[in-house]
Structure 1
Amino acid sequence: MSPDVLIRLSAFTGVLGLMALWEIFVPRRQLNTPKMRRWIANLSVVVLDSAIVRLLFSAGAVGTALLAAERNWGVLNHVSWPLWIEMVVAVVALDFVLYLQHVLFHAVPLFWRFHMMHHADLDCDVTTGLRFHPVEVVLSMVIKVAAVVVLGAAPLAVLCFEVLLNATSMFNHSNVWMPAAVDRVLRWILVTPDMHRIHHSIRHRETNSNFGFNLPWWDRLLGTYRVEPISGHIGMTLGLE
């Protein structure tokens, strides 16, 4: 097992376990469907997605970044900035690309047909952040790899982004409670569960809001931010019509 895969797997299991315990002890909402049945279904999808991505993209995003660095591809491979600045720029830029991709998957009917699988979950918990149609996962990887090549993102930056994306996706889909004051402060720098849960509302206007995964800034800057659901977090209905 390569070091980057080991790091990602360790982060995945750690965050999954932490959020699962948080959901058990301090849940935000009562679930509509049995937890064990949903977990088996959603985690089975993760295994399938991982196998397909490994088969089609053996190098992955980090391997692509290594190749780009060797061949001097991309914007950041032609500047002489300190590594930490390049990493910050790359992570923020990749996050913006993922925000635009998410908006695109809602706006284009063909893409939405695959993204619907993510929204079809009748509850929203840590495993919802892992539930994506295999075709969507492949398309997302193509977009991510292309962005890495164009940016010339450093391999370490891509690894950090991959770990962050996976961890924050599980965090902001989690069915966890936190004090309102903490949520208000935290959602200036990170997409919180209460912020992202609105995106899973059955109401069309709410579904087309709060697209961010890692950073909340794009929603605020581009007019897709919604503070609260119309029916409140306890009263709102999740899923699709």
Structure 2
Amino acid sequence: MEKYLDAFVSAFNGTIQWTWKSIIFEVPWYTNYFWGLIAISLFVWVLEIIFPWRKEQSIFRKDFWLDAFYMFFNFFLFAIAISGVYRVLQLFFSDIGVSAKSLALVDPSGWPSWVQLLVFFIVLDFVQWFTHILLHKYPVLWQYHKIHHSVKEMGFAAHLRYHWMENILYKPLKTFGVMILGGFEPEQAYIVHFIAIAIGHFNHANIKITWGPLKYVLNNPVMHLYHHAYVLPKGRSGVNFGISLSLWDYLFKTAYVPEASGTIEIGYPGEENLPKTFLGQLVHGFGYRPRKKL
């Protein structure tokens, strides 16, 4: 037990120290996710201001500051809070003989760097796409995902507005994806992480981008706006589940982009019952009870 406690404390303190060192520029620039997030956010926000898709939307749109807080909470504060738990779980699975090598399907360590990065990116994106579908399909998970879909005016900061439980759901499956690769993470994995942040920001931004023919590969603001549509096609729990790649939606027939005016209503039926404050949303979803069929 002492070993696990030491691992928890060490990971927790280490994450705090790394975050602080990032703030004061004492980590390599390419691993400085704190200022990297700020730089990407400011860049996309400036583009929103100069080239707004929905021109009637205010620069400081509805819930702008709430979403901005969510960005830092989910990306840093919650990461600090949960880091010790993840380290203990890693140690536990290692102790019972479950390792990355035991689940590995491939060993990419000898591949060229660009192939390593590409495969790493594709595998993680597919895992997130699949997880995203689960969040929409199962009511108990949808209760948490509602936070993200409560956005009423789309903007870059909405990218990281989500319930902290989604971190709990995504992280194990992303870790499983890495374990399929033998626990391998490319030395230049920071490139993948920064690209994913940038694409996610663009997908939620008030900018009209479709990437031309690449729209069948890369997710984009027009496609993702329909993921947030208030009215969905009949019989579907969601559409356009792609995170960075739209490829999966086109391959598995979950893509839906009927037009590109940007004027559709976003949200979901019953959104008026969602708490409006961060603290209220923080605990939302835990009182869910499935309805009994009559």
TM-score band, normalised by the shorter chain? 0.7 to 0.9
**Residue 86 in structure 1 maps to residue 116 in structure 2:** yes
CA distance in 2, matches of 1:77, 1:59: 28
Letter in 2 for 1:24: I
Q: Percent of aligned pairs with the same residue?
A: 23
Letter in 2 for 1:235: T
Q: Which residue of 1 aligns with 2:216?
A: 188
- The alignment partner of 1:127 has SS state of helix
Which whole-Å deviations, capped at 9, do the CAs of 1:193-239 have from their partners, x for residues lacking one?
1111111110122871111121111011000111324xx53431011
CA distance in 1, matches of 2:112, 2:58: 49
* Residue segments in structure 2 that go unaligned for 5+ positions in a row: 1-20, 22-26, 270-294
Q: Which has the larger radius of gyration?
A: 2
8 Å CA contact 1:202–1:237 kept in 2: the answer is yes
Spell out the pairing of 1:143-158 with structure 2 (5 A cutoff): 143-151=173-181, 152-156=183-187, 158=189
Residue correspondences, number: 229
**Residue 177 in structure 1 maps to residue 208 in structure 2:** yes
Q: 1:149 to 1:106 in 2, by over 3 A?
A: same
CA distance in 2, matches of 1:58, 1:9: 20
CA distance in 2, matches of 1:125, 1:196: 12
Q: 1:20 to 1:217 in 2, by over 3 A?
A: same
Alpha-carbon distance, 1:26 to partner: 1.4
Q: Which residue of 2 aligns with 1:137?
A: 167
CA distance in 2, matches of 1:228, 1:15: 30
CA distance in 2, matches of 1:184, 1:60: 40
**Residue 233 in structure 1 maps to residue 261 in structure 2:** yes
Q: 1:22 to 1:125 in 2, by over 3 A?
A: same
Alpha-carbon distance, 1:185 to partner: 2.6
Q: 1:113 to 1:32 in 2, by over 3 A?
A: farther
- The alignment partner of 1:237 has SS state of coil
Q: Which has the higher helix share?
A: 1
* Residue segments in structure 1 that go unaligned for 5+ positions in a row: none
Mean CA deviation greater in 22-31 or 132-141: 22-31
- The alignment partner of 2:63 has SS state of helix
Q: 1:224 to 1:167 in 2, by over 3 A?
A: same
8 Å CA contact 1:4–1:159 kept in 2: the answer is no
Q: 1:200 to 1:78 in 2, by over 3 A?
A: closer
**Residue 17 in structure 1 maps to residue 47 in structure 2:** no
Give the structure-2-normalised TM-score: 0.68
Instruction: Flag the structure with more relative contact order, 1 or 2, with Cα contacts below 8 A and sequence separation at least 6.
Output: 1
Q: Which residue of 2 aligns with 1:215?
A: 245
Alpha-carbon distance, 1:6 to partner: 3.8
Q: Which residue of 2 aligns with 1:43?
A: 68
Superposed CA RMSD: 2.9
